[in-house]
Amino acid sequence: MICFPNAKINIGLNITSKRNDGFHEIESVFYPIKSLYDVLEVIENKDDDKVYFNATGIEIPGNSHDNLCLKAYDLIKQYVKVPPIRIHLHKNIPIGAGMGGGSSDAAFFVNILNEKFKLNLTFKNRFDIVTKLGSDCAFFLNNKPAFVTGRGEFLEQIDFTLSNKKIVVIYPNIHISTRDAYAVVLPIKPQRNLLQDISQPIEYWKHTIKNDFESTIFLKYPELAFIKEQLYMYGAQYACMSGSGSTIFGIFDRMIDTTAIKFDHDFKTYSLE
């Protein structure tokens, strides 16, 4: 069975406080980007009793044994019996980009195993499993626009769409560690209501909706601020860094010729319907 774990962007990200467990409380709107996705295939391994994992596409740093799909498999086994499997992950979503690629892979993996092997895991079971894997994972179980709080696990689905807009996503080949980004950010209580602000026309957002990571990340990587400026120069109604970076996205009323945008470095640009 094959599925297509997609990316997401953060429209606004308020880091409101640091918790006693070391995590941070946030407020954000997560929006799925379904036209940028990985490819995940799971088949039953009938040759022996082992689990095999293979990855292609963008190189995944670290030890493959630490992949979230394998960790999810071990957690699922605590609930139900699961046969040995072969996992193939083709990676397209940039890594360390603030787009939730690894979290999406894990959540889609839990859903596909539940469906393929008829495990009868309830939504609560799957929610409990994925929240042990990462803060963003729970969003991808339903994969619909949501107002997100807590450390990312509390979701309120919202009636919100960008289907009539064009989105340009630029990844500058910079891997940013989420842990490192949180280590230097200063939590602050937001002065505005994000849900109210997002209900306003998009052209107002640049004055009201921000990503708290930008103030520190842009100091270290000024090229990210330059990308954001360029997107506005080429007509973006709103531009922002997604998550802890380094992806910068712009929302446009119409599709633009991204080849006209000139940068000093090699960037990957995704023009998404």
Catalytic residue among 38, 91, 105, 136: 136
Distance, CA of 255 to CA of 258 (rounded, Å): 9
Annotated active-site residue 266? The verdict is no
Q: Cα–Cα distances in Å, from 3 out to 20, 78, 84, 115, 199?
A: 37, 24, 19, 11, 32
Which tokens sit at 162? 């960008």
Please count the other Cβ atoms lying within 10 Å of the Cβ belonging to residue 101: 25
Residues 90 and 125: beta-carbon distance below 8 Å: no
Decide: helix, strand or coil at residue 200.
Answer: coil
Question: Cα 267 to chain center, whole Å?
Answer: 19
Q: Which residue has the tokens 């940039």?
A: 94
Amino acid (1-letter code) at residue 232:
Y
Burial annotation 181-213 (CB, 10 A radius, 16+ → b, else e):
bbeebeeeeeeeebeebbeeebeebeeebbbbb
**Maximum Cα–Cα distance for the chain, whole Å?**
59
Annotated active-site residue 180? The verdict is no
Residues 86 and 74: beta-carbon distance below 8 Å: no
User: Which residues are the active-site residues?
Assistant: 8, 136
